[in-house]
Structure 1
Amino acid sequence: MVAPRKMALAEESAEVEVLFANMEKLKSLTKKIQGSLNRLETSGKSVEDAIRPIYGNTQRLQTTNNNIDKVVEAIDRIRQPLDQRSREERVINAGPKKVGLADFIASLDRTTQALGELKQSNLRSNQQAIAELNSLLKRGTKQLEDVFREILREDARMVEPLHYITKQLPFPAIPEDKVSQLRTINSHVAASVAQISQTDLRDTPTAKIYAEVRGEYMTNTLRNLSAACVSTAKKTTADALYRQGTNGIGTYCAGIEGIMTAEYNNICHIFAREDWARVYTATCQTTLNEFAKTLRELNTHVKNNLLTDCFLAYEIIDVVSNLSLRLEKHTGELKRAVADALKPIRETAKSSLRSLLEDVRNKVQSLVAVPIDGSATNATAEMMARLQQMTNYLTPLASVLISLGDGGWSNGSTAASTSSHKSFDVGADGRQLFANYAIEMIDTHLKELDAKARVLHKSKSLQGVFIANNVAIIDRMIRSSELAGLMGSAQKLVEGWRKKGTQAYLDAWKEPSAYLLDVQYTNRGGRPPSGGAHSVDSASVIKNLSSKDRDSLKEKWKNFNVAFDELIAKHKGYGMEKEVKTQLAREVQTMIEPLYGRFWDRYHEIDKGKGKYVKYDKAQLGTTLSSLA
């Protein structure tokens, strides 16, 4: 038993020794591995330090390679348009008629693109190529401009404007197929010119061509209407007032509106939105110049015949102002240009208002005679005819009067100009200003007539008849025209002058009226009876008079009869307007008849009905006075 146990222990001891021996080897191996790891770490750091710059250089090389690839690609792209130059040159040199407009434009577009790419390259070696492509593009663009001009000229023959005006038809537009071609050409020419030009060109060659060709077409079409304005302004009768609508300015403006509206529509279909105003203004410029010239000629005519043809100036202001408003509404343009053309006429219209007032004074002051029967002077009807004529032009006159300011028409030219700046009020009532102007003209006229009558008519009665007749004509012409609705405030003036004329006329009737007045003494024989005729006993009154009073009474009757008969004859010899005759007869009857009736009631028995002193009974006197009307 002992022997097996020893053997077992020996084996275990041997295994333990082997195990220790292995552990020693493992420790030794671990130390070696640790040493190897330390050496590997040190080597790794060295490798990393060595590889890092190599990796960075590799990345930079990759970037450089990419850049080189891009440069190569750019060079290829640069070379590509250069390679196309020969082919595009053949197309452009052949021209649009041979190769067709579409192919020609396509070639031009490719050339434009190639030129743009060459300019972007900014390589000095490409400068020669850029110059050659520039020259090629210029030639091609010039040919395209010629095509643009030819297409425009096909529809630029003048038309008869009256055909479209009288039938209220729109003026002809450029056909749609040609509009499409023109639009395409314009856009490509604009692109080519932008590439060729070194500066920003606002007006492209096609815009200039359009303005030239279409401007000439418009001017030629309207030339006869312009000439008609000047010819219809010529006078056949020197002192005849201008009649509304007899001048051709209305037709001329209708033609301008029609043709310019049609032209604006053409432009909107052909050019870019930002170019409309510029191209439209340039296209219309020649026509506007011709229009301004025509207005200057008409203005010269009006100034030479200001007192009769100032109404033409008012009509021109009205028609042209409306034209300006309608053009601005449709196109948004030309208002200022049309207003500038109208300025000379407006200034003439302003001066005419002062001249008409001055003419009123001068015409009366220059009279060497007035109607000897007290009839109205022709100058009154002429003045009122002018005012009546003015009512046909209230709208333009209102604008002129507002610019002058209330009362500005009475000043001299320099003062009026200053006054207009001070008193200009856009909110002023033009109709009221016209009423004020008309009232001033009427008052000025009547004052001058009154002064002239005092010189040329010796009797105050005749002066009164003269004034009353002129007032009657003024009042009648106001009531029978548009002036009635405008000059309500003139009634006070008219009534004032009518009263003045009436009082002057009645001045002569004071004499016979004075003969019908007597003095009664209430302390002699009691108070005289009052009341109607039935309460007066003429015989008793006469009986109570002294012989001296009777003689005085007889003298009064005689003097009254003479004065009365003389005034009746004079009254019937006066030239009176119907309403004046009626009104003055009524005033005389109101003045004389009550006095005569009272006087007759008391004293008609002076001649005991023999008629020696008492020529008229009350009924006869009333009939005689009634006959004055």
Structure 2
Amino acid sequence: MDDESAEIELLEQNLNKTKQISQRMTSMLSSFDTRLNKLEKSILPLYNSTQILTKRGNNIESALLKIYEIASNQEGLAAEEAMILRGPQPGQLEQYKDTLSRLNASVTFMSITGGQRDTARLIETGAKKLTQMYTKLVAEGSSGVPPNGPDFQLLPFPSALRANLEPLVAFLRTLPLPPTHPSHPAAPGIQSTLKEAQKGYADMRGSWSVKCLEQYGKRVVDRAETLDGVVAGRELGAWVENLLAVAEIEYGLLKELSPLPGPVESTFAKLIAPLATLFANTISSLGSLIKRSLHKYTFLALAAYANLSASQAAWDDIMVRRAGRKQNELKEGLHAIRASCLRSFPEFIADIKTAALGKGAEVGTGLIDFAISTVEYLERMPEVQSAVGAALQTLGDGNWKMGEGVQVGKAGKTTETNERTLMEHFLHDVIHLTVTSLQTLSRANKRPSFGSIFLVNNLAYLRTRILVKPKTDIPSLLSKPTQDLLNSNFRTAKAAYFDSNFSPLMQTLTEDNKGKSAAKEKFTRFFDLLDEVAETHKLARVLQDDNEGREQICDEVIKLVVPSLQRFTQRNASGKDYKSLQKYIKMSTEEVESLIRSFYIESDPRTVAQAENARDNLLLSAGWGRY
């Protein structure tokens, strides 16, 4: 019991001690709490002030960051504006285009405000700067001194400039335009700028093309006065082909380098307008030259018509259809030249008729001018066959006679066969009239022997140059009746030559059995007439430029005269009669043959000397004296 009481008492003592400790701790904590309250009350104002300062500091920092950002943006805009206003600098074109694209995007995809309108004006300024660069490059490629050699050379656009232009053009075509960006404030101004640049391109390239071609056009006109007509016509055709080649190249170049996307017809029309004017002026100058002397420039007109006609399809395609033009300068030029061609046919016929009239003067025995000019005219026909056929088709069959005669047939209007028929009719009339005129002039000669030589010389010249040994393919254009006309009239002329010069000789050798006195008279008459023939052939050469023809006539004359003389001599001067007739036989048959041969052939010196001695002896005996 005592133990339990002791333990209880110990517990109560410990409890009291714990209570005392708790009281002291509570007292200490209360004192600490009081102190903390006092501390809080003293620190709270400072805390509140610190929070306000922190917030203000954060606000100030945010404001400064915004200010720095705005200042940076303004500096970038100022730099971009300065770049745009300054224009693209060497080596900075890509940067310039990128800046312009960025500005354009900012306007395109945002609402239009006052600031955006300023940006749009800046974009328009940038577009103008780029078009100025474009125009400068085009001007560099369209200036300088073109080649001036004898042959035209196509001068391509400089490759270095073209390499610079192509990316620039590609960018210009991406700029906003009213059709693609109707709400873009810069689109109308950019379109106007590009239109002006494209018009400037057409003006510069057109002027440059004319500069390259005009000297050759002038050369064609200048040379046409002295050059062969067909050659001059070919030069004109070549010049027109070069003009069309230039226009073709410029069309392709325009499609590649035009700053505006879309069709280029109107621009191309402006570009080729100076070329069309140059062509019209050149054709006008040639037309004036032809009209001034159509007789002289007939083949210039025909060749020009043929060569221009060959370029008609290309002209219609390049200079009319692609440019959307209605005016066709080539067609107008062809019409003017065709009028001269149509006049040339009746005028040529009239010239031949006029030449046949004569004025009572002797025409000699050589080649007459209109026969030479007719041959030259006919020889040139194959070279201008297409032009002649087309012109005759327009003129109408037989109308080259200017109302005289009857038309030999009505030709169609389109087929080649009919053109060929018309040409055959025309050439037949030319040759027939030439032959008729020569016959008229030959009959007008007071000495038939000279007239016959004149006729055979000129008809032989016609026949040889046109049928026997033609220099061109003229026989293929002549109908069979025309060829027969030439051949038959030449045979007739040759027979007339034999008749007028040698028939009297042959008549003296006819057999009439009147005795020795008649033989004396015949020998005397024969050699007197031979003397006249020798004198005639001394004054008038037969087929002077036709060795083969002269040899043929010579052989025919010898076969005609010498055997007859030989037979007559054998019959009348044989045996005892030879001595009594010897003084009347002034030449042997061999000497007569040599003399006749000397009329035509002078290539062998021995034959010439022998013939000259025989002729001199004959002339001396007749009292003519030596020559």
1:491-548 CA-to-partner distances (Å, cap 9, x unmatched) read: 53432232122122222233333333346xxxxxxxxxxxxxxxxxxxxxx7xxxxx6
CA contact (8 A) 1:405 1:420 kept: no
Aligned equivalents of 2:516 and 2:401: distance in 1?
A: 71
Residue type of the partner of 1:97? Answer: G
**What letter is aligned with 1:513?**
M
**Structure 2 partner of 1:67:** none
Determine the C-alpha separation between the residues in 1 that align with 2:411 and 2:119: 65
Are the counterparts in 2 of residues 403 and 420 from structure 1 also a CA contact under 8 Å? no
| Equivalent of 2:139 in 135, 142, 153 | 153
Q: What is the CA-CA distance between 1:386 and the residue it aligns to? A: 4.2
Distance 1:366 1:591 in 2: 35
**CA drift at 1:468:** 1.1
Note if 1:217 corresponds to 2:208: yes
Cα distance 1:389–1:488, how it changes in 2: closer, same or farther (>3 A)? closer
Pairing of 1:284-433 with structure 2 (within 5 A): 284-317=272-305, 320-321=308-309, 333=322, 337=328, 339-340=330-331, 342-343=333-334, 344-365=336-357, 369-372=361-364, 374-388=365-379, 394=383, 396-405=384-393, 408=396, 411=399, 423-428=412-417
Query: CA deviation digits over 1:424-445, x for unaligned, max 9?
Result: 3343487886676555434333
Deviation at 1:284, TM superposition (A): 1.3
Q: Of the candidates 415, 440, 461, which is equivalent to residue 451 of structure 1? A: 440
Would the aligned equivalents of 1:180 and 1:270 in 2 still touch at CA under 8 Å?
no
Scaled by the length of structure 2, what TM-score is found? Answer: 0.62
Asked if the contact 2:341–2:391 (Cα under 8 Å) also holds between the matched residues in 1, the reply is no
Corresponding residue of 1:517: 510
Cα distance, 1:383 vs. partner? 3.6
CA positional deviation for 1:573: 3.1
The CA deviation at 1:300 is: 0.8
Q: Which AA in structure 1 matches 2:347?
A: S
Change (3 A) 1:337 1:421: farther
Residue 556 of structure 2 is matched in structure 1 by 587
2:87 paired residue among 78, 92, 97? 97
1:464, CA displacement in angstroms? 1.5
Quick one: structure 1 residues 261 and 599, their matched pair in 2 at CA, closer, same or farther if it must change by over 3 Å? same
CA distance in 2, matches of 1:420, 1:91: 84
CA distance in 1, matches of 2:527, 2:402: 61
Query: What is the CA distance between 1:313 and its match in structure 2?
Result: 3.3
CA shift in 2, pair 1:570/1:163, >3 Å: closer
Which whole-Å CA distance do the structure 1 matches of 2:535 and 2:432 have between them? 32
CA offset at residue 301 of structure 1? Answer: 1.4
Deviation at 1:279, TM superposition (A): 3.9
Q: Which of 561, 576, 596 is the aligned partner of 2:542?
A: 576
Alpha carbons of 1:551 and 1:484: their partners in 2 closer, same or farther (altered >3 Å)?
same
Aligned positions of 1:178-189 closer than 5 A: 178-186=165-173, 188=175
State the secondary structure of the residue aligned to 1:342. helix
Q: More displaced, 585-594 or 258-267?
A: 585-594
Question: Structure 2: which 5+ residue stretches go unaligned?
Answer: 1-76, 89-94, 601-627
For residues 78-157 of structure 1, the aligned pairs below 5 Å read 97=87, 100-104=96-100, 148-157=134-143
| More moved, 168-177 vs 90-99 | 90-99
**Preserved CA contact (<8 Å) 1:403 1:425:** no
> Are residues 103 and 354 of structure 1, via their aligned partners in 2, closer, same or farther at CA, if it must alter by over 3 Å?
farther
CA contact (8 A) 2:449 2:497 kept: yes
- Post-superposition shift, 1:402? 2.7
Q: For residue 263 of structure 1, what is the aligned residue in structure 2?
A: 250
Residue 215 of structure 1: CA displacement? 1.8
Corresponding residue SS for 1:228: helix
* SS of residue paired to 2:446: coil
> 2:472 is matched with which residue?
482
- Amino acid across the alignment from 1:156: S
Change (3 A) 1:618 1:153: closer
- Which residue does the alignment assign to 1:537? none
Question: Size of the alignment, in residue pairs?
Answer: 491
- Asked if structure 1 preserves the Cα contact closer than 8 Å seen for 2:420 and 2:477, the reply is no
Please tell me the residue identity of whatever aligns with 1:309.
Y
Cα separation, partners in 2 of 1:112 and 1:380, compared to 1, 3 Å: farther
Amino acid aligned to 2:528 = V
1:473 pairs with 2:457: no
Amino acid at match of 2:507: A
Matches of 1:406 and 1:327, distance apart in 2: 22
Identity %: 17
- Give the whole-Å Cα distance in 2 for the aligned partners of 1:445 and 1:575: 22
Q: Which residue of 2 aligns with 1:177?
A: 164
Deviations 1:360-396 (CA, angstroms, capped at 9, x unpaired): 3334545663443x222244334433444555xx2x4
Instruction: Look up the match of 2:577.
Output: 608
Aligned-pair CA distance for 1:598: 4.3
Q: TM-score, normalised by structure 1?
A: 0.62
Unaligned runs of 5+ in 1: 1-86, 119-125, 520-541, 543-547
Change (3 A) 1:368 1:275: farther
CA contact (8 A) 1:233 1:247 kept: no
8 A contact 2:411–2:418 mirrored in 1: no
**Aligned AA (1:589):** I
**CA deviation map 1:36-68 (0-9, x unaligned):** xxxxxxxxxxxxxxxxxxxxxxxxxxxxxxxxx
Q: Is the 1:371–1:377 Cα contact (8 Å) retained in structure 2?
A: yes
TM-superposed deviation, 1:246: 10
1:567 maps onto 2:533 in alignment: yes
The equivalent residue for 2:494 is 502
1:229 alignment counterpart: 220
The one-letter amino acid paired with 1:467 is: L
Q: Which amino acid aligns with 1:100?
A: Y
Cα pair 1:405 1:423 within 8 Å, conserved: yes
Residue identity in the other structure for 1:152: V
What letter is aligned with 2:204? V
1:591-612: CA deviations, max 9, x gaps? 3344444444443359811225
CA distance in 2, matches of 1:146, 1:420: 68
Structure 1 residues 283 and 167 mapped into 2: Cα distance closer, same or farther (>3 Å)?
A: closer
Aligned-pair CA distance for 1:553:
5.6
The 1-side partners of 2:305 and 2:105 are apart by: 51
Distance 1:491 1:160, change over 3 A: same
Shift of 1:299: 1.4
Does the 8 A contact of 2:265 with 2:322 survive in 1?
Answer: yes
Q: Aligned partners of 1:172 and 1:428: how far apart in 2?
A: 50
Q: How does 1:45-56 map onto structure 2 within 5 Å?
A: none
Give the Cα separation in 2 of the matches to 1:310 and 1:617: 56
Aligned-residue Cα RMSD (Å) equals 5.1
Q: For residues 164 and 616 of structure 1, what CA distance do their matches in structure 2 show?
A: 66
Q: Deviations over 1:546-594 (max 9, x none)?
A: xx66655655454444334433432343222244544443333343344
CA offsets, 1:230-286, max 9 Å, x none? Answer: 444455xxxx86583599746744652453233122123245997255543442122
Asked whether the 8 Å contact 1:354–1:409 carries over to 2, the reply is: no
Q: Helix, strand or coil for the counterpart of 1:308?
A: coil
Q: CA separation in 2, counterparts of 1:250 and 1:172?
A: 28
Residues 438, 455 of structure 2: 8 Å contact kept: yes
Inter-partner Cα distance in structure 1 for 2:109 and 2:449: 100
Counterpart contact for 1:465–1:576, Cα < 8 Å = yes
